[in-house]
Amino acid sequence: GKHRIVIPCLGHFKEEYEKVSKLYMDNKIRTTRYTLFNFLPRNLFEQFHRVANLYFLFLVVLNWVPLVEAFQKEITMLPLLGVLTIIAVKDGLEDYSRYKMDKQINNLVTKVYSR
């Protein structure tokens, strides 16, 4: 692996630079939407912003009411679970490919100008 290492010529200002540099973000590129910890809640939040998914959720909830029950409760959940699973897998694969591309770009060798 090639790594990008930038070492400034600081001399006696090194300690001051280290104190000040903690206040700023690094220059890594991150285009991914999810992490391992927030994938499921954030993906479900984004998916239920779609009207079709809300409609299917409404049908599932409505089918749990005994007076309105048209099908078995489990059968009404299948289309919604299928759609949510397929979209979550697609989003996960897209985000993983973004992660790999970010990692590749962040590990490129760069040239640093030094007087």
pLDDT, position 91:
96
Tell me: the pLDDT tens digits for 96-112?
Answer: 999 999 999 888 887 77
Helix axes 73-106, 51-63, angle to 10 degrees: 150
Quick one: which of 100, 94, 58 has its CA closest to 76? 58
Tell me: the pLDDT tens digits for 20-33?
Answer: 777 777 778 889 99
The pTM of the full predicted model, rounded to 2 decimals, is 0.69
Rounded-to-integer distance, Cα 13 and Cα 9, Å: 9
Under 8 Å CB-to-CB from 109, ≥6 apart: which residues? 2, 3, 4
Under 8 Å CB-to-CB from 4, ≥6 apart: which residues? 106, 107, 108, 109, 110
Sign of the CA dihedral 59, 64, 67, 71?
positive
| Residue 35 DSSP class | -
Tell me: the pLDDT tens digits for 63-109?
Answer: 888 887 777 778 888 889 999 999 999 999 999 999 999 999 888 88
Contact indicator for 105, 29 with CB cutoff of 8 Å = yes
